[in-house]
Amino acid sequence: MSRNGVCFVISPIGDADVEARGDAKDVMDRLIGPALAFVKERTGIELQASRSDQRSVVGEIVDNIILRILQDDVVIAVLFNRNPNVYYELGIAHTAARPVDRRRNGERRRKRGVKASLYDR
């Protein structure tokens, strides 16, 4: 039996013409998508992942982001460029005691107090 869920991806996004938007898309396509496909194959749980810029929102976007952090089944934080919004959203997830999977690229800088899995861009 297949089960479904939703996954909120905390990620730098920026405007459509900004490099961070392309990097965020690459992370979704090459890392998160395959990881969620693996989860489905192994567990039968199908998670639909999206970032805040990938859904139409009525009202304040910040309210929607906070709601998704609190209510989505899984939260993944992508830490690839010291974006203050990402750390703000990650702080909300921590405050709410949500388990968060953190991903950052192969940079050797350590974020104090943040343990993250590495990936190559």
User: pLDDT tens, position by position, for the chain (121 residues)?
Assistant: 458 999 999 988 766 666 766 788 888 999 999 999 999 999 999 999 999 888 777 878 889 999 999 999 989 988 877 889 999 999 999 999 887 766 666 544 444 444 444 444 4
pTM: 0.76
Model pLDDT, residue 59: 79
- What whole-number distance in Å separates Cα of residue 3 and Cα of residue 55? 22
Model pLDDT, residue 99: 77
Q: What is the DSSP secondary structure assignment for residue 55, as one 8-state letter?
A: S
Which numeric CATH code is attached to 3-119? Answer: 3.40.50.450
Provide CB contacts within 8 A for 96, sequence distance 6+.
Answer: 69, 70
Provide CB contacts within 8 A for 39, sequence distance 6+.
Answer: 45, 47
Model pLDDT, residue 63: 92
Model pLDDT, residue 100: 76
DSSP 72-103: SSEEEEE-SS--HHHHHHHHHHHHTT--EEEE
